[in-house]
Amino acid sequence: MTRILALVWPTLRSGRDAPPGSGAVDVPAMLDRLDDLSPRVEAVDRGVALVDVTGLGPALGDTGDERRIAARAVALVREVAPLPVRAGTGENRWLAVLAARLALAARPDPATPAAFGAIPAGPAARRTLAVLSLDLLPADPATRGRFALFGLTTMGELAALPRSAVGAQFGAEGERLQALARGEDPRPLAPRRRPERLTRRVGFEPPMEGIGGTALLLRRCCAELCDTLRARHLAPGRATLTCELEDAPPLVTALAFPEPALEPDWIARLLLGRLEAAARSRRLHDPSDGDEEPRVAAIGLALDRLSNPAARQLGAFNVQAGRWEELRWSVERLTTRFGPGRLWRATTERPRAVLPERRARLTGLGHDATGEEEP
Amino acid sequence: MTRSAISSQPLPELLEQLRAKGVRQGVGPMAGETAERATPGVRGAISSGFPALDTALRTDGWPRGALALLDAPRGTGATSLVIRSLAAAQEAGGIVAWIDAAGCLDPATVERMGVNLEWLLVVRPASVAEAVELAGWIVRGGLVDAVALDLGESGAALTGELDRLGRLLARGRAVTLLLAGERLRSAAAPVASVRIALRREAWLAVGRDLVGQRVRATVTRHRWALAGADATLDLWFGEGRRIDPLLPALAVPDETAGTATGEAEEAGERPALRVLSA
């Protein structure tokens, strides 16, 4: 018997921002935490996650109390972002999400974070659904109107009709909705693949004077990780370098590549350039550090967003596209050298506008570009 | 390498071989450039977009590695010539850049005159000196075929920077087209490897609308060929909105019909292109 736990974050689902003080919500990190509970986790869309909790009760030290499993899942995701969350369990994904939605209805106080609902398995599920309104079904307004014209108001009434009759009157969509009203959902859980991440950390004893001194080791770390990935026909899309300083908070710099790349020299040079720029910036903003070079206790390199570089072959067929991709490396270098806000790409918006500045829009290039367009 | 050998190779290795051969180095040869690249010492060229000017340059266009100075008073079509040259470079499969130190680039106009914005890198430097430095960096990358360096009417003294840029460009494969005010033009004149003087000869009109100008381009300096030739260029304004649809049919003006004083207009037919003395 399959049991699925649905977690619904209403604030994320409605597109509202995270609560003040919680910062940006790192949804992938929340899903990573759920991996600790079960290996089968699916992110349905923004604000809804499904976890296969079949047989997890004994593993958590009790006899299968689903509320405690849900509480454990909620506690895990709240370590990342303390958002209000509703949980529900059911035999399939439809019933689980419906249970989570009903959990909110059962608790009138929306601020209550531990809302939990469960729809039992087997025939009891159909009995539970029978009294629920048809408005809970994911139907378009036209279909809802036709249900109303036929006098159908609850799921039980729709479920009780012969399937052939529903198909004749409402078509395939009607048959799908009737199956849902009966508590049947054939869609399987599609577990997400946990993003892979390669890391390497090198400590210095005694600490190294200056960031520039780490260049050789950083280059070697990059080469080792790139060799590992090359053997698997993979390439990273992002590199993150953490520089642990002896008597200051660590410096962290991330570099998203224009395309998956296995170029240890470029990766190391760009990371180091950005790290030195970050160190200079910190000295400028915090003169108390003085002019002394920071003492580096360790560096950590992480490569993620892995993908197969052979899948990106557009450049092999379109010369300008391929050349532009290579140009983006130069853009990264120029951004590091000259700072952000220098390199742009133009697109026309209103080519006939009277004012020239209204006709086109410039979009920043380079890793420092925020993606925002010039006003 | 035979077809069977290719098909039996793992894809990543095959791609590496293609990259080593230069397939992924971008456009390798541009149109009409294959022979030149195979011959060391002979530099290729990028079309100016005007066959007459290509002929006058005697190198089939702007020679690669050149710093070309457009010696033109304001309003004599230097910017139009640059835009046409960038469009021609893109048509040949290249990527172009516009270094906009003057801050007056209008991408919509550039696009209307034939430049594909998708392959245009727009650079907004903080100063004129930085613009020159950025031009050197971009050209040194070897991935851009033509660069428009618009320095505006700045009066900054950049002799040293321009000299350095000229030497840097000569080692690269890109063409840099320099647009500058009078003072900077005189500073860049000794450094430029190609100089083109533009002088307006006539206005082009359709009905009562001025739609362009006829310009005489004279090659006053050429580092790799004989200078002195000239060409007549018809430069159309990008803003001739009402008569835009008519222009293609009139793009090759019939001098006799054009100079006739609007007989066709009186007959209610299409207005003819007229050449008005400047």
ipTM confidence: 0.72
Is A343 in Cβ contact with B125 (below 8 Å)?
no
Residues of B in contact with A326 (CB under 8 A): 24-26, 143
**Residue in chain A nearest B140 by alpha carbon:** A330
Point out the residue among A316, A323, A360 whose CB comes nearest to the CB of B95.
Answer: A323
What is the model's pLDDT at position B41?
Answer: 46
Give the torsion sign (CA, A332, A337, A339, A345): negative
C-beta atoms surrounding A344 within 10 Å: 23
The distance of B36 to chain A (nearest Cα, Å) reads 19
Which of A324, A334, A346 minimises the CB distance to B95? A324
R_g over Cα of chain A: 27
Output the CA angle A112-A114-A117, nearest 5 degrees: 115
Structure tokens at B202: 């006539």
Please state, in angstroms and rounded to a whole number, the distance separating the CA atoms of residues A290 and B115. 51
Q: Token pair 């809302």 is at which residue?
A: A115
Over the stretch A280-329, which tens digit does the pLDDT of each residue have?
A: 887 766 666 566 778 889 999 999 888 887 666 555 567 787 778 778 77
What does CATH list as the number for B42-277? Answer: 3.40.50.300
Gyration radius from chain B CA atoms: 21
Taking CA–CA distances from A333, the nearest residue in chain B reads B137
pLDDT band at A102 (very low <50, low <70, confident <90, very high): confident
- What average pLDDT does the segment A45-73 reach? 77
Reported as a single tens digit per residue, the pLDDT across A119-174 is 888 888 888 899 999 999 999 888 889 999 999 999 999 999 999 999 999 999 99
pLDDT in tens, B36-61: 443 334 568 999 999 999 999 999 89
Q: What does the pLDDT look like over A215-270, one tens digit per residue?
A: 889 999 999 999 999 888 888 988 999 999 888 888 888 888 877 888 888 888 88
CB–CB contact A342 B117 (8 Å): no
Give the pairing of strands B120-123 and B209-222.
unpaired
CB A134 within 8 A of CB A152: yes
| A109 CB-side CA count, 13 A | 4
Q: How far apart are CA A124 and CA B181, in angstroms?
A: 85
Looking at per-residue pLDDT, the higher value among A2 and A316 belongs to: A2
Contact (Cβ atoms closer than 8 angstroms) between residue A309 and residue A226:
no
A17: pLDDT strictly greater than 90: no
Q: Which domains does chain A have, with CATH numbers?
A: 4-121 (3.30.70.270), 128-181 (1.10.150.20), 197-331 (3.30.1490.100), 340-375 (no CATH)
Q: How far is A327 from chain B (nearest CA, A)?
A: 6
Q: Are B235 and B260 spatial neighbours (Cβ–Cβ below 8 Å)?
A: no
pLDDT, residue A316, reads 56
CB contacts, 8 Å: A337 with chain B:
137
B123 close contact with A: CB closer than 8 A: yes
pTM exceeds 0.90 for this model: no
Q: For residue B144, give the nearest of B86, B191, B196, B195 by alpha carbon.
A: B86
| Three-state secondary structure readout of chain A | CCCEEEEECHHHHCCCCCCCCCCCCCHHHHHHHHHCCCCCEEEEECCEEEEECCCHHHHCCCCCCHHHHHHHHHHHHHCCCCCCEEEEEECCHHHHHHHHHHHHHHCCCCCCCEEEEECCCCHHHHHHHHCCEHHHCCCCHHHHHHHHHCCCCEHHHHHHCCHHHHHHHHHHHHHHHHHHHCCCCCCCCCCCCCCCEEEEEEEEEEEEECCHHHHHHHHHHHHHHHHHHHHCCCECCEEEEEEEECCCCCEEEEEECCCCCCCHHHHHHHHHHHHHHHHHHHHHHCHHHCCCCCEEEEEEEEEECCECHHHCCHHHHCHHHHHHHHHHHHHHHHHHHHCCCCEEEEEECCCCCCCHHHHEEEEECCCCCCCCECC
Of all residues in chain A, the one with the smallest CA distance to B27 is A319
**Which of A50, A71, A52, A65 lies closest to A8, judged by CA?**
A50
Does B111 lie at the interface with A, CB-CB under 8 angstroms? yes
B119 touches chain A (CB under 8 A): yes
d(CA B111, CA B119): 11
What residues of chain A, 225 to 244, have a C-beta less than 8 Å from chain B? Answer: 233
- Inter-chain contact B143–A337, Cβ cutoff 8 Å? no
Contacts of A232 (CB under 8 A, 6+ apart): none
Of the candidates B11, B23, B141, which has its C-beta nearest A330's C-beta?
Answer: B141
Residues of A in contact with B117 (CB under 8 A): 345-348, 360
**Tokens in use for B163?**
């000299």
Q: Report d(CA A273, CA A337) in Å as an integer.
A: 8
Contact flag B122-A362 (C-beta cutoff 8 Å):
yes
* A348 vs B111, B123, B138: nearest CB: B111
Chain A residues with CB-CB distance to B173 below 8 A: none
- Chain B interface includes A322 (CB < 8 A): yes
What angle is formed at CA A276 by the lines to CA A272 and CA A281, rounded to 5 degrees?
145
**From B11, B27, B107, residue closest to A360, measured CB to CB:** B107
Q: Is B6 on the interface with A (CB under 8 A)?
A: no
**DSSP element (H, E) containing B165:** helix B159-170
B149 and A CB contact within 8 Å: no
Mean pLDDT of successive 10-residue segments in chain B (278 residues)?
53 63 44 40 80 92 92 89 93 92 87 89 91 90 90 76 84 90 86 93 80 91 90 77 50 47 49 72
- For residue B178, what pLDDT is reported? 93
- pLDDT value, residue B19: 60
Task: Tell me if B112 and A351 make a contact (CB, 8 A cut-off).
Answer: yes
